[in-house]
Amino acid sequence: MDYPIFALELDGCWLRFHRPCCLSVAEGSGAGYPLLAEIGTLRSTARAAHLEGIGASESPNISVTLNNPKRRASDLIGMPLRRNARIEQGTEILFEGVVSGITYGNTLTLEVAA
């Protein structure tokens, strides 16, 4: 089974991050970095439009966690707020959005919103 990869656009180039165990996933898809730890659950739009005064209040989003040994991921991507990002599986794009939040530490967590 192919595990999805995380792609981030920086200065017109797509950087792709894959799980360390899944090198074949990134083959043929450009530069790949084995730093992907986890792709979170996709959150879809919350709708309660049938209730008066309540509408869609949250856009679809997903969190992505990268391993950050010796600040490798941090140094590679810098401050990627408002950069294009997507989740890919093979040639299919599963989710597209922009980086809306980032948490630095031993792991790097990026929030991507549609």
Give the total number of structural domains in the chain: 1
Q: pLDDT tens digits for 11-31?
A: 899 999 999 877 544 455 555
Please report the pLDDT score of residue 95 as a whole number: 94
Is residue 50 included in any domain, yes or no? Answer: no
Indicate the average pLDDT of the chain: 84
Is residue 31 included in any domain, yes or no? Answer: yes
Is residue 51 included in any domain, yes or no? Answer: no
Domain range for 67 is 5-44+56-113
DSSP-derived pairing of the beta strands 92-103 and 84-89: antiparallel
Question: pTM above the 0.85 mark?
Answer: no
Burial of 42 (0-12, 13-18, 19+ CB in 10 A): middle
Burial of 77 (0-12, 13-18, 19+ CB in 10 A): buried
Is residue 87 included in any domain, yes or no? Answer: yes
**Order of strands, sheet of 107-113, starting from the edge strand that comes earlier in the sequence:** 32-33, 13-17, 5-10, 84-89, 92-103, 107-113, 61-67, 36-39
Is residue 21 included in any domain, yes or no? Answer: yes
Please report the pLDDT score of residue 32 as a whole number: 86
Residue 51 reports pLDDT greater than 90? no
